[in-house]
Structures are given as C-alpha cells and as structure tokens.
Amino acid sequence: MTAEKIPELSSDEVSLYFSVAKNSERCRSPKIMHKQGDYHNRVFNFILEDSYMHPHLHPSEEKIEKMFLLDGSFALITFDDDGEVTNTYVLAKGGRESIDVPAFTWHTYVMLTKEVIVFETMEGVYNPSTWKKMAPWAPSENTLEAPTYLEILKSKVVA
C-alpha cells in the first residue's frame, strides 16, 4: 500500500462531523476533501456503530479503495458474487490500521466501536452512475431488513 499523506483534523471538525452523523439517517457523515471532477478522491468518513453500508463494489480497474483507520475500530467484510462472506479484516489502532479493497470486490464494513473515523482514497472521476454497483443479494440502506442484516454481519466478525 502506498503511503498517503492524511490531512489534519481539528477537534472542532471531529465534533461537528460526528454531530452531523448522529442526526443522519445513515449514522455517518463525510468530509469530502476533493473537488468535483478530480481524479484523486479523498474523504474522511465519520461513522457511528449502527451505520449500515449496503455491500457494493467499484466496477473499474483504477477504483482501488484505500482505507486508513484514524480512530475507533471496524471490520471490512468481503463477499463472493452470491453474498457469502469470503473474508473479514479487523482494523484497530495498534494493529492493522489500513487496507486496500481491490476493484470489483464486493465489500462493506461494520463498526466495532461507537465512533470510527476512516480516511479513504480512490482513483477515478466520480460519476454516480458508474462509481459503485450495489449488491443485489443484500438489503438496501434504511430498510426494515437492514438492521437485522447488519447484526448478522457483525456476528461474522471475530475480533
């Protein structure tokens, strides 16, 4: 994994973005560091423990998602094309603190602490119609099935 220069966050920014996350239906809030049309995408994600991210993949060779844990702990979960878990990777301070998710890899992540800050980068100009493909075998976010599925995913993580 290539070393990434991670911008500094102030304590006021951390408080602000977690406040936004707490008032968000998705239980997370991004701080986008790139401009629209940039090729190199950088974002801080402030994520709460009850956040469910619909499993997805990024369908283009340059879309390798690089994740750098800044605070808290989470598990990255990868799947096969049928939705079966293929791997879980726990990221925690003092342990594994970064991971690269290859393009064309079904994945999601679950929070293992109340609050998590992740810095993410990916190459490619953002286009909502081609940026990611949602897994057809998993519930969409903010549906009645999502909390149950999130608990199933959490039960598959061995910390």
The share of the chain scoring above pLDDT 90, in percent, equals 87
Provide the pLDDT for residue 37: 86
Calculate ∠ Cα 53-59-63, nearest 5°: 85
Q: What is the mean pLDDT of the chain?
A: 94
Note the pLDDT tens digit of each residue in 124-154.
Answer: 988 777 889 999 999 999 999 999 999 999 9
Q: What does the pLDDT average to over 7-27?
A: 97
pLDDT at 2 over 60: no
With 70 as the cut, is the pLDDT of residue 159 above it? no
Which domains does the chain possess? 11-155 (2.60.120.10)
Cα–Cα distance, 135 to 108 (Å, whole number): 10
